[in-house]
Amino acid sequence: MAQLIDGKKISSEIKEELKAEVEALKRQGKEICLAVVQVGQDPASCVYVNNKKKACAYIGIRSEAYELPETVGEEELLALVEKLNQAGHVNGILVQLPLPAHIDEDKVIRAISPDKDVDGFHPVSVGRLWIGEPGFLSCTPAGIIQLLKRSGISIDGKECVIVGRSNIVGKPMAALLLREHATVTVAHSHTKNLKEITNRADILIVAMGKRQFIGADYVKDGAVVIDVGMHRDENNKLCGDVAFAQVCEKTSAITPVPGGVGPMTIAMLMNNCVQTVR
Ligand code: GUN
């Protein structure tokens, strides 16, 4: 029987730990403030931003919301980021992505001070991660490391295969697994013989953005499977990149969707916010 990796429970544990830490920091006179910048009213972004604000309130972090219209100019957004960089009371800056097409996302990410980059997207944060210096970690991959560790799954020496090479998940995931002494393969849309490669994995991390693509034939017996995907199935129910029902039986441990990786991202964002004052 596969172990179900309970992201909801593990993320709650992390949030409880952070809440206690924030209370202790407050007693030392240290307050934390996260600036949350949203451009436009993309429905998915609204849900994410709301959840982030709620998590802040729960943990005891102050959140400041900056809502800009869809039509805002790039210069105006960059000016706001610069103002937040300079604001002494603001510890972390989060600009919700995606941004409208007329705004250069990379330029905005680079404008955020690396000292306030709680998303871990700035090239300085990415560079620090790859050379093993302390810095802010991209939240979803950092959450996956926590899921594995807190589920008693060792990473050291394991064959890890990541499917997907995005800047937000696949690439930082590879760096984090390397740091934990895994042997890492990154597969992507141009990879040949994907099935052969995923079948080598002791730990398979799927972030390809294709609904229920990974079937049982992609998975080695006894593997650990982490599903980063988020989709709606034909019955409008949430599902992942992994065909859970058939893959589950082959694994030693697997994350469900929902309730797996998803809740971890916000928990790790909160951790990054606390890190700004540690
Ligand atoms: N949009 C989707 N995921 C994220 C995230 O982790 N951070 C930000 N800033 N935007 C996102």
Q: Which atom of ligand 1 is nearest to the CA of 138?
A: 6
- Using DSSP's 3-state secondary structure scheme, residue 230 falls into coil
pLDDT reported for residue 183: 99
Q: How far apart are CA 138 and CA 122, in angstroms?
A: 10
Q: Please give the backbone phi and psi of residue 68, each rounded to the nearest 5 degrees, phi first.
A: -110, 150
- Using DSSP's 3-state secondary structure scheme, residue 17 falls into helix
Q: What's the one-letter identity of residue 273?
A: C
Q: pLDDT tens digits for 11-58?
A: 999 999 999 999 999 999 999 999 999 999 999 999 999 999 999 999
Q: What's the one-letter identity of residue 62?
A: R
pLDDT reported for residue 207: 98
- Using DSSP's 3-state secondary structure scheme, residue 35 falls into strand
The residue length of the chain stands at 278
Is any ligand 1 atom within 6 A of the Cβ of residue 5? no
What Rg value do the Cα atoms of the chain yield, rounded? 19
Q: How far apart are CA 228 and CA 214, in angstroms?
A: 12
Q: pLDDT tens digits for 86-116?
A: 999 999 999 999 999 999 999 999 999 999 9
pTM of the predicted model as reported, rounded to 2 decimal places? 0.97
| Residue 1 pLDDT level (bands cut at 50, 70, 90) | confident
Place of tokens 């919700």: 96
CA 95 to chain centre: 14
Mutation test of ligand 1: which of 94, 139, 168 has the most ligand atoms closer than 8 Å to its C-beta?
168
Cβ atoms of 51 and 265 within 8 Å: the answer is: no
Cβ atoms of 206 and 178 within 8 Å: the answer is: no
| Residue 264 pLDDT level (bands cut at 50, 70, 90) | very high
Place of tokens 């799954």: 153
Q: pLDDT tens digits for 132-170?
A: 999 999 999 999 999 999 999 999 999 999 999 999 999
Q: What is the residue with the minimal CA distance to atom 8 of ligand 1?
A: 96
pLDDT reported for residue 29: 96
pLDDT reported for residue 146: 98
Q: Which two tokens stand for residue 193?
A: 């013989």
> How does DSSP classify residue 66?
E
Q: What is the residue with the minimal CA distance to atom 11 of ligand 1?
A: 97
